[in-house]
Structure 1
Amino acid sequence: MAKKRKSGTGTVRQRSDGRWEGRVVIGYDDSGLPKTKNVLAKTKRECQEKLRQLTESMVGRNDRKVKPDMLFGDWLCYWYETHSKPTLRASTRNNYENVIHNHVLPEIGKIPLNKLSQNDLQQFYGRLKKNGRKRLTEQYGAGLSDRMVRMCHAVCRSALERAVRDDLLRTNPAIGCKLPPKKAKEMQVLDREELQKFLIQAQADGYYELFLLDLCTGLRRGELIALQWEDLNFETGVLTVNKQAYTVNGELQIIPPKTKASMRKLVLPPAVLAVLREYHRKVDSRWMFPSPVKADRPITPGVARRRLQTILERADCKRVRFHDLRHTFATLALENGMDVKTLSAMLGHVSAVTTLDIYTHITGDMQRAAAASIDRSIGKAEPREETEPERKGIVDFQPYVGKKR
């Protein structure tokens, strides 16, 4: 399991020049402002060691109360180290540190905390949207994405909200700022013909069991990758989901899920269980889907994503994200009569409301079909004859069996 860094041990991040930088608050000056020191190294491990030596050498910390006229950048670093970082996951910490060091501090870090206005923040967000991107500008343009602008705002707003709670500010200047609209990513699902072609190709490529299990359970990518054989009871067919995998700075981390609802038990269909039982005989690893190159490690999220795209291309299916396989499972489950509450529990959602919000378009179609059925039963309405579209057969589909990549 990934270990959390303790509060006060500093932050580690990779700079744009490729070097690693470690930074830690070493104390406070006579005005109550935090003082920081940094270390630089060529590798992350070397940087962590230098930072450890620096923190161990610190003595006589001065924990005086911070003041309203301190620089916003100093307050932001203090807030992050003291109040935010200890509660965050490694991946989220990485995102926060990128926002703080690459965007907020260079732009508005020198403004006094009690002088920072809503207009300062609004102009800051405008600059981010226009030319805030630090790298890959030729590929994505000069401006930051709407999502990243909103994240910068979220960090600033949380830090300023804490300043209000600590009586450093009367009001939060971030409240009321106009932000880019929040856009949900378009959901795509594989139809029945595509599903069959996809699974035929997945079997030819040696990834049938991984994608079959995902399409029959709706597991998140990280949950699927983190599965071990001890999580599956072959006698009862119960699969326990109690961890997830993700990558931070190129390192694979295995940690518990974010919410209690994500810790769940799923009963697998007998046919799927039979496939996994046969597959288990061929796998010499504690991981259900082990890495082909690293001993005693599962495949990485990146490998799973790339393999998905290769199989979709070879099967002549539309390009979908890994998360769309989860949407495909949910769509098929609803269309085949599964109730929303049961589906919500299987997906690991906090409540059925979340499931309804995501799949409103599907449940809406189901409600219209139910209303039409009631109308025919009670209102004596004649059912409309609908010509079912001709389904293409896939019996002639031949999977690609060339060199695997």
Structure 2
Amino acid sequence: MRFEKAAESWFGKAAADWKESTLAKYRALLRKHLLPAFGGMEAEGIGTGDVRDFAERELSGFSISARRFALSTLSRILQFSLPAELFRALEFPKGGKVRKGKADSLLPGELAALIRTLEGNKNPKRENTAHVLLLIAFTGMRLGEACALRLSDFDFVRNTVRIHATLERLPVENGGTADGAKGKARTALRLLPAKTASGEREIPIPEKLLARLKEMAAENPPEAPLTTRDPRTLQNHFKKFLKAAGISKDAHIHTLRHTFATHSLSAGADLKTLSATLGHASTHTTLDLYVHPTFESKRRLQEAFRLFIAHPEKWGRQGDDADWGEGFGKGRPFG
């Protein structure tokens, strides 16, 4: 069986329950990389050397996560189409370990400076962007979720906002036109449902934004979008606000979500509540992706350990047979 036919059969079976964004991601990988490289080959004739050549030739400039995704997809197609003994004989290059939570959050002083800059914005062309960025900063919602909001999603009796969709830029099949641009475009903006059940949620509206949001709701029809800005435009405006705030860090709008999660937990937020606010199905996702120790939390840890050594009597039993783990971390005996 030719690889092209094997990929078509695998895709038809695997894609049954995929969301549109997932479908577009796999289609783009197959069309741009896997089919040009292997499409005309017999699946049983693909060997370890072919896979390694493909990885070196096509994937050398990929990010680690994209490289792993491409190799994993190739592996799944071949496993689907090859006899077990042939598939086991193949060796796939290591895609590299993905470093979770790689992006830095803004420091408290940086976040405060950015918020002051957003609140003090006098440029009418960036007024809408400023309000969207403030909403993201104070709620931790994703950029796509904010761009998908309609004014009808805001409840000014309960002072909450309902998140149930996302606006994503997806590859365009066959290079069609998109977004009203002239000529051919590779991507188009699509309004999609929330990626998971936990992504659909209701969260409080920050008090600082209530007045302006109520004004917008009074001046526009309920189905008017919160913003008409393209996500790329919002990202460009965000860079300008960073510069105006005196922040040189290479940050993106998603950094605001990262910052919200990290500093909320540092400030004593309940992990389960934070996870639900972010739209995560598991608290492990919150910890793995967004929450990392700050320098001050590391300093507090060292100070707590120093006090533990200096005052062991506060921890109960002493001596060589003492259970040094008992009670450790179960309270705050040092103030």
Range class of TM-score, shorter chain = 0.7 to 0.9
1:220 matched to 2:153: no
Residue in structure 2 matched with residue 43 of structure 1 by the alignment: none
Greater CA deviation, 319-328 or 84-93? 84-93
Per the TM alignment, residue 377 of structure 1 is displaced from its structure 2 partner at its CA by: 8.3
Superposition pairs of residues 185-200 of structure 1, within 5 angstroms: 186-200=102-116
Aligned twin of 2:92: 177
Relative to structure 1, the CA distance from residue 377 to residue 146 in structure 2 (aligned partners, 3 Å threshold; closer, same or farther) is closer
- Once the two structures are aligned, what percentage of the paired residues are identical? 26
Please give the per-residue CA displacement for 1:248-297, whole angstroms capped at 9, x wherever unaligned: 34432111111111111212343443443244334456234232xxxxxx
What corresponds to 2:13 in structure 1? 83
User: In the alignment, which residue of structure 2 is the partner of 1:157?
Assistant: 75
User: Any gaps of 5 or more consecutive residues in structure 1?
Assistant: 1-69, 131-142, 292-298, 382-405
Instruction: Tell me if structure 1 keeps the 8 A contact 2:135–2:206.
Output: no
User: Counterpart amino acid of 2:159?
Assistant: G
1:242 to 153, 157, 164: 164
Is 1:229 aligned to 2:151, yes or no? yes
| Cα gap change, 1:288 to 1:101, in 2 (>3 Å) | closer
Where do 1:297-336 residues align within 5 Å?
299-318=229-248, 319-336=250-267
Q: CA deviation at 1:176?
A: 4.7
SS at match of 2:292: helix
- Which letter maps to 1:307? H
DSSP-derived class of the 1:79 partner = helix
Which residue in 2 is equivalent to 1:64? none
Say if 1:287 and 1:192 are closer, same or farther in 2 by CA, change over 3 A: farther
Cα distance, 1:306 vs. partner?
Answer: 1.8
Residue 228 of structure 1 deviates from its aligned partner by 1.6
Deviation for aligned residue 1:365: 6.3
Equivalent positions of 1:282-293 (< 5 A) are 282-284=219-221, 286-291=223-228
Relative to structure 1, the CA distance from residue 345 to residue 278 in structure 2 (aligned partners, 3 Å threshold; closer, same or farther) is same
User: Do the aligned partners of residues 231 and 374 (structure 1) sit closer, same or farther apart at CA in structure 2, a change above 3 Å counting?
Assistant: farther
> Is the alpha carbon distance of 1:288 and 1:198 closer, same or farther for their aligned partners in structure 2, counting shifts above 3 Å?
farther
Query: 1:296 matched to which residue of 2?
Result: none
Residue number in structure 1 paired with 2:274: 343
Quote how far apart the aligned CAs of 1:171 are. Answer: 5.3
Matched residue of 1:76: which SS? helix
Give the whole-Å Cα distance in 2 for the aligned partners of 1:378 and 1:345. 38
Q: Is the 8 A contact 1:199 1:208 kept in 2?
A: no
SS in 2 for 1:281: helix
TM-score, with structure 1 as normaliser: 0.63
Contact 1:242 1:256 in 2 (8 A): yes
Q: How many residues align?
A: 289
Note if contact 2:44-2:86 (Cα within 8 Å) is conserved in structure 1: no
Cα distance change of structure 1 residues 162 and 129 upon mapping to structure 2, 3 Å threshold: closer
**1:362 aligned counterpart, secondary structure:** coil
- Aligned residue for 2:67, secondary structure, equals helix
Structure of higher RCO (CA pairs closer than 8 Å, 6+ residues apart): 2
Deviation at 1:340, TM superposition (A): 1.8
Q: With structure 2 as the length reference, what TM-score do the two structures score? A: 0.74
For structure 2, the residue ranges without an aligned partner over 5 or more in a row are 173-177, 179-187, 313-335
Measure how far apart 1:345 and its partner are.
Answer: 1.2
For residues 137-167 of structure 1, give each alpha carbon's deviation from its aligned partner in whole angstroms, at most 9, with x where no partner exists: xxxxxx4444433222122122123236xxx
